[in-house]
Chain A
Amino acid sequence: MRAMNLVAVAAVLMSGLSTAAAAAEPDGKALYARRCGICHFADGGGTWMLERRLGKGQALLESRADLQAPYIRLIARRGLNGMPRFTRVELPDSDLEIIAAYLTRSGPRP
């Protein structure tokens, strides 16, 4: 089961890369998959820890409607519990803004 999920994550990572649109104009969903997905998709360590702290409904970041951009920026740069910090080389401000916009988008959640 775990191996299958890892393959699924890899497939999502790759699908995010393979679209021409992703290269030309960074897409929030694809960037989120690439930068955050390995820990914050289902079965990821981040999802698991969020579920333990906040409950199942709050575990998947993509499904949440209560996140705010300043908080996302803060956690990305400062880390939280077991989550390491991201430098501006690994995750430039421009990419972080796109990811924050994706996670705080209006509309229905998966």
Chain B
Amino acid sequence: MRLILPPGMKAAAFDRARQALRRVVGAQWVLDTDEDRETYIDPYAVGTGAAHAPSGAVAPASVEELQAVLRVANEFRLPLWPISRGKNLGYGGASPRMPGTMVLDLGRLNRILEVDEKLGYCVVEPGVGFFELHEHLTKNRIAMEVGIPGNGWGSVLGNALERGFSFRGDHSESICGLEVVLPGGELMRTGMGAMKNGVTWATARHGFGPSWDQAFVQSNFGVVTKMGLWLHPTPEEVITLRVALDQPDDIGWYMDALAPLRLRGVVNGNVQLTTYMMTVIDSTQRADWYQGRDSLPDSVIARIRAERGLGWWNGTVRVAGYADVNEGNLKRVQAALSKHSGREYPFTRTLSAQTPSRGPTVGPLKVANWYGGRGGHMSFSPVVPAVGSAVVAQFQRTRARYIEHGIDYSSTWYLNGRTVTNINLLLTNMDDADLTARGDRLFHALVKDAAAAGYGEYRTHLSYMDEVADTFSYNDHALRRFNERVKDAIDPNGILAPGRNGIWPAAWRKERGKV
């Protein structure tokens, strides 16, 4: 992809910045050929990806090099977009929000610095992936697990900073202690790590005074170079119930039945419920079932379900822990469900001593192939109260929009206890301009609908960050003003991730809303 400069930056200044970066990291780690730029483009971009095209990438090998990179960026006013491994697929991949921003690729900082089995935590750098951490735990027979998202290709640290989640819940809630390079290049540690010799950095959530860990999540206030992350003890036994619900509105009673049990820890992992889609993508594409341009009709959905033996909704409930405790919890779950359905659900028991825990996978990425061609996907992800009537209303409203725009409805619901996070997939074929345009219009409509109901998204694609941020508008956008006052104070040149999650520094604020 041809070079696109940051808005307002002159080519001569950009070239001087590149030369300075080469002196810091070595010529080979300033990646700025046309092909290099292409590799950092969001593979599932809306359109060509030019709206979020980077001017190149720089990849430091140490914290010291990173600090020097930030000093160069400040000198030349070169905007940087930090990524850990760049696998934020469905939300923008490795691409920056503002075109011309240079990607700050932290993939070479890839050490697992510490794993403590007794206290249940690890300390990792940005380049450590789920595969590497899982492998480390397994190889060293450490009876601890890490929450692994559907796409397990990415970075452990990066995923937690995006609030990625799994049945373990929101991974950002496991963060405990960060090392951060501030936009000016200063190195800081949070919590107990702020002591010269803080022993409980990754075990005590707070230090003395304000807690800042969460301020670096989904923000652009610093570059996280080390993260303490709590691990989960491997349970003695896992019981997995498999549930299939026959009617679309069954999701309402289901959430009402399980939310109290999730809240009380009887069910000790997120409850997951999904449409037929995540099963059929394993071996089929849309064209195998239907050729029409409209949303998949009920008759086709019925045929898919019949051939695959699926419910309208399909899911699992996980009861994990000591076997004797599980027994009582299982009875409570079955009782709560059978009260509505009149039946007990099949389940499997797995003893961790006999069966290794399931590792990362990239299997769910197959979903991008649904429509064929250059497949792509995005997610629309509102957070809804864990109340059946609210869930049904949000589901019906969302599905109606999908049908209106002629897009196949596919979604997964994760019951956290007090809320349900609803990941709606917007699948596309990027070679089909009409389909992609309809998907874009659908996304705008969904954001608007959810906001009208009082529901915000937990995460979104680069192209919709300003739009979603705009829905957090209490007291005429007081939160945005606060975020941007902080941003301007700690990053006066606005060099770090301008526009991330709708937070624009003064230097680039006029770019807000441009995609």
Report the bound CA distance from A11 to B30 in whole Å: 35
With contacts defined as CB atoms under 8 Å apart, how many contacts are there between chain A and chain B in the complex? Answer: 82
Q: Is A55 located at the chain interface by the 8 A CB criterion?
A: no
Partner of A88, one of B31, B89, B285, B362: B31
User: Known contacts being A2-B282, A14-B135, is A87 close to B375, with CB within 8 Å?
Assistant: no
Partner of B361, one of A38, A78, A86: A38
Among B130-189, those with CB < 8 Å from A are 131, 134-135, 138-139, 153
Which chain A residue lies CB-closest to B33?
A88
Partner of A77, one of B38, B105, B368: B38
Interfacial chain B residues near A18, Cβ < 8 Å: 139
Q: Is B449 located at the chain interface by the 8 A CB criterion?
A: no
Interfacial chain B residues near A86, Cβ < 8 Å: 39
Q: Is B359 located at the chain interface by the 8 A CB criterion?
A: yes
Stretch at the interface among A21-29, A45-53, A56-64, A98-106: A45-53
Which chain B residue lies CB-closest to A79?
B43
Which chain A residue lies CB-closest to B363?
A45
Q: Is B38's CB under 8 angstroms from A78's CB?
A: yes
Interfacial chain A residues near B138, Cβ < 8 Å: 10, 14
Q: Is A87's CB under 8 angstroms from B40's CB?
A: yes
Interfacial chain A residues near B359, Cβ < 8 Å: 6-7, 10
Q: Is B35's CB under 8 angstroms from A84's CB?
A: no
Interfacial chain A residues near B107, Cβ < 8 Å: 87, 89-90
Report the bound CA distance from A87 to B31 in whole Å: 9
Report the bound CA distance from A7 to B105 in whole Å: 30
Q: Is B41's CB under 8 angstroms from A85's CB?
A: yes
Shortest distance in angstroms between B283's beta carbon and chain A's nearest beta carbon? Answer: 7
Partner of B105, one of A38, A49, A89: A89
- Binary CB contact string for chain A from 20 to 48 against chain B (1 if under 8 A, 0 otherwise): 00000000000000000011000001001
Report the bound CA distance from A89 to B238 in whole Å: 38
Q: Is B93's CB under 8 angstroms from A13's CB?
A: no
- Binary CB contact string for chain B from 112 to 143 against chain A (1 if under 8 A, 0 otherwise): 00000000000000000001001100110000
Report the bound CA distance from A24 to B358 in whole Å: 29
What are 28 A-to-B residue pairs whose CB atoms are below 8 Å? Answer: A2-B282, A6-B363, A7-B356, A7-B359, A10-B134, A10-B135, A14-B135, A38-B153, A39-B362, A45-B363, A48-B366, A77-B35, A78-B35, A81-B375, A82-B366, A82-B369, A82-B375, A84-B43, A85-B38, A85-B39, A87-B94, A87-B107, A89-B29, A89-B31, A89-B59, A89-B108, A90-B85, A90-B107
Interfacial chain B residues near A54, Cβ < 8 Å: none
Report the bound CA distance from A81 to B368 in whole Å: 9
Interfacial chain A residues near B2, Cβ < 8 Å: none
Total contacting residues, chain B, CB less than 8 A: 41
Q: Is A87's CB under 8 angstroms from B369's CB?
A: no
- Binary CB contact string for chain B from 354 to 374 against chain A (1 if under 8 A, 0 otherwise): 001011011101101100011
Please give the residue numbers on chain A whose beta carbons come within 8 Å of chain B beta carbons, in ascending order.
2-3, 6-7, 10, 13-14, 17-18, 38-39, 45, 48-49, 52, 77-79, 81-82, 84-90
Among B361-418, those with CB < 8 Å from A are 361-363, 365-366, 368-369, 373-375
Q: Is A87's CB under 8 angstroms from B105's CB?
A: yes
Interfacial chain B residues near A78, Cβ < 8 Å: 35, 38
Interfacial chain A residues near B41, Cβ < 8 Å: 85
Q: Is B362's CB under 8 angstroms from A45's CB?
A: yes
Interfacial chain A residues near B135, Cβ < 8 Å: 10, 13-14, 17
Shortest distance in angstroms between B109's beta carbon and chain A's nearest beta carbon? Answer: 11
Interfacial chain B residues near A10, Cβ < 8 Å: 134-135, 138, 359
Which chain B residue lies CB-closest to A11?
B356
Shortest distance in angstroms between B129's beta carbon and chain A's nearest beta carbon? Answer: 10
Q: Is B89's CB under 8 angstroms from A84's CB?
A: yes
Closest 6 pairs (CB-CB, A-B) = A84-B43, A87-B39, A82-B375, A89-B107, A85-B39, A45-B366
Report the bound CA distance from A3 to B373 in whole Å: 28
Interfacial chain A residues near B368, Cβ < 8 Å: 82
Report the bound CA distance from A17 to B138 in whole Å: 13
Which chain B residue lies CB-closest to A73?
B35
| Interface core residue of B39, B94, B283 (most chain A CB under 10 Å) | B39
Q: Is B494 located at the chain interface by the 8 A CB criterion?
A: no
Report the bound CA distance from A76 to B361 in whole Å: 20
Interfacial chain A residues near B361, Cβ < 8 Å: 6, 38
Q: Is B373's CB under 8 angstroms from A81's CB?
A: yes
Report the bound CA distance from A48 to B288 in whole Å: 14
Extra contacts besides A45-B366, A82-B366, A88-B39 (11): CB < 8 Å:
A2-B363, A6-B359, A38-B131, A45-B365, A81-B375, A84-B43, A85-B38, A86-B39, A87-B86, A87-B94, A90-B107
Which chain B residue lies CB-closest to A90?
B107
Q: Is B358's CB under 8 angstroms from A89's CB?
A: no
User: Known contacts being A48-B366, A81-B373, A81-B374, is A89 close to B38, with CB within 8 Å?
Assistant: no
Which chain B residue lies CB-closest to A83?
B43
Q: Is B105's CB under 8 angstroms from A85's CB?
A: no
Q: Is B63 located at the chain interface by the 8 A CB criterion?
A: no
Shortest distance in angstroms between B369's beta carbon and chain A's nearest beta carbon? Answer: 5
